Amino acid sequence: MKGPQRLEEQVGRLVTHMGAVFPGERAVFRGHDLHASLKDLGWLELYLFGITGRRFTPQQMSVLQAIWSYTSYPDARIWNNRVAALAGTARSTGTLGIAAALAVSEAQIYGRGVDLRAIEFLARAKVHVDAGEDLAELVRAVLKSERGIAGYGRPIASGDERIGPMMALVREKGLDGGLHLKLAFEVERILIAGRWRLRMNYAALTAALCADFGLSPREYYFFGIPAFLAGMPPCYLEAADKPAGLLFPLPCRVMRYEGVPRRQLRR
Amino acid sequence: MNMETIHTRIWQEEPEPDNAFAAASCHCHGYDVYGDLLPNASWIEYLFLLFRGEAPSLAQARLLEGLALALANPGPRDAAVHAAMCGGVGGSPSASCLMAALAVGAGASGGAREVRLAMEDWLARGTDAALWQTGLAATPVDNPADVWPAPGHAPGFDPHGVRCTGPVRQTLAHLAGLGCGPSLPWLQAQRPLLESAAGLPLAMTGVAAAALLDLGFTPAQGEMLHLLLRLPGAAVHALEQKDYGHKKFPFFRVELENDPGPAGAGLKTEDRA
């Protein structure tokens, strides 16, 4: 079946195994009654169950929770947070500001774009090593073809303050033995020993941990969507509490014009 | 990293003498916006200037005007407009409706991403029929490291279409006749051949990609313009559905494939209470 017949079959109906609400009666979430068999799930557990259909151990849950917490910075200078803060100073709504800030978090040099590339690289590295190939060779090839490895190096700083606390928690929970995690550190060793001097950043660490917990790249991407969320409302709120327009005011002199000289429209 | 300067080739301002935060004059790519463009240029000419850095020729202005009109409202069946209406019908803020239209209208199936991909195809294949035939016959490649899902069909063609629709044919014929760039007339002449290679009819995204290319826009600029130019329809349909109200808006029938049934089915009446 193709073309409009395929569309015709779906008119007016939602065929799903993900869930539905029966208003006034009950709600079903991935085949389970939300208010009965899933009623004791924490919010993050439910969020991950929605993405994967799977449950995670309490130790894994505390690491997954910390992955978000440790990267939630209420710093309104950071580009995505700044969007939330600017919405506050411009007296837009909290939801608009934060939804836009989350959308902006799908960036190429940080956030979701890096997350996906980092976990995909580690998955590739594991396949490579499992096949008995040399990891250093893959690192060299990726650096050559992609001019960098997602999860190594950082746009603003060289070190990453999140790695120490995260590894402490991972060790405390006994989750430091995963193969992807070992590979992530091995890649860092290769990069430091070589001429590249790129240190591992949080993206590679969290991608490795989540890969070790069984998340696919796609599942990891969805898990990461609210990663920066907790830092955003403070940015909005503080800006909204100040008089309008006082956050990052820009005088005309901040603009450095580098374009063509002045001219007139010819009619 | 420079913390205090915004570099721009587009915009130049002079402050009012008594207020550094208020512009006394604004120049866009060298033109005085309020002294020269406002009395002398049309909105569509200004739009072209903003993106391209040069004022358009008459033919270019006509082509962008025609494209803007053709794209302005894809109608309420379009997924992006549908998304905007979902905002309107529940009384969401106007910006939420437009953000919904942007998010959905950004996609690689019928949206701005598809236009960008089609423009990239145009840049790689030009007006070489053999390159198009080979390219269209190939299955789009999935990149698991990309946040964008893999396109399921050749960009610029209708994945569910039977024949090239009236509006697409009319738009192509009109825009191709405006004498601006080689892509549109070539597309007009080669449409049957390309459709046969793709196994699908040409879609509005394909016409938009050719037009944007003929106007000299890059794929990234084309993607942005496609997002922008389709917002008017999303806006008015969102407002209209807000007036009609949710009781007149479709909610659809659900067919749950793994329904566990009522949780309280085995319980006694007092337990249910």
Helix axes B183-198, B129-137, angle to 10 degrees: 40
User: pLDDT value at position B269?
Assistant: 35
User: pLDDT value at position B271?
Assistant: 36
What is the pLDDT averaged over residues A67-96?
A: 95
User: pLDDT value at position A127?
Assistant: 96
CA of A221: which chain B residue's CA is closest?
B147
Shortest Cα–Cα distance, A193 to chain B (Å) = 26
Radius of gyration of chain A (CA): 23
Mean pLDDT check: name the lowest of A170-174, A190-194, B147-151.
B147-151
Q: Residue A152 pairs with which residues in a beta bridge?
A: A200
Q: Write out pLDDT tens, residues B138-166.
A: 887 888 888 888 888 999 999 999 999 99
Tell whether A94 lies on the interface with B, counting CB pairs under 8 A. Answer: no
Shortest Cα–Cα distance, B7 to chain A (Å) = 5
pTM: 0.90
Q: Write out pLDDT tens, residues B231-264.
A: 999 999 999 999 999 999 999 999 999 999 986 4
DSSP-derived letter for residue B175 is H
How many inter-chain contacts (A to B, CB under 8 Å) are there? 149
CA count, 13 A, side-chain hemisphere, A152? 23
Tell whether A243 lies on the interface with B, counting CB pairs under 8 A. Answer: no
| Residue entry with tokens 């697409």 | B168
Question: Who's near A192: CB < 8 A, 6+ residues apart?
Answer: A198, A199
Residue B170's CB: how many other CB atoms inside 10 A?
12
pLDDT at A177 over 60: yes
Three-state secondary structure string covering chain A? CCCHHHHHCCCCEEEECCEEEECCCEEEECCEECCCCCCCCCHHHHHHHHHHCCCCCHHHHHHHHHHHHCCCCCCCCCHHHHHHHHHHHCCCCHHHHHHHHHHHCECCCCEHHHHHHHHHHHHHHHHHHHCCCCHHHHHHHHHHHHCCCCCECCCCCCCCCCHHHHHHHHHHCCCCCCHHHHHHHHHHHHHHHCCCCCCECHHHHHHHHHHHCCCCHHHHHHHHCCCCHHHHHHHHHHHHHCCCCCCCCCCHHHEEECCCCCECCCC
Q: 2.60.40.10, 1.10.230.10, 3.40.50.920, 3.40.50.300: which CATH number matches A112-224?
A: 1.10.230.10
Q: Tokens at residue A51, please?
A: 């993405």
Q: Which of B27, B40, B264 sits opposite A267 (nearest CB)?
A: B40
| Residue entry with tokens 């629709």 | B165
CA of B30: which chain A residue's CA is closest?
A262
Tell whether A131 lies on the interface with B, counting CB pairs under 8 A. Answer: no
Three-class SS state of B27: strand
Q: How far apart are CA A101 and CA A112, in angstroms?
A: 12
Q: Does the CA dihedral B229-B233-B234-B235 come out positive or negative? A: positive
Q: What long-range pairs does A131-136 form, CB within 8 A, spacing at least 24? A: A135/A183, A135/A186, A135/A187, A135/A190, A136/A190, A136/A194
Contacts of A120 in chain B (CB under 8 A): 144-145
- Per domain, the residue ranges of chain A are 19-55, 112-224
What is the pLDDT averaged over residues B186-214?
A: 98
Q: What is the ipTM of this complex?
A: 0.85
Tell whether A5 lies on the interface with B, counting CB pairs under 8 A. Answer: no
A36–B11 CB contact, under 8 Å: no
How is B52-67 classified by DSSP, letter by letter? Answer: HSSPPPHHHHHHHHHH
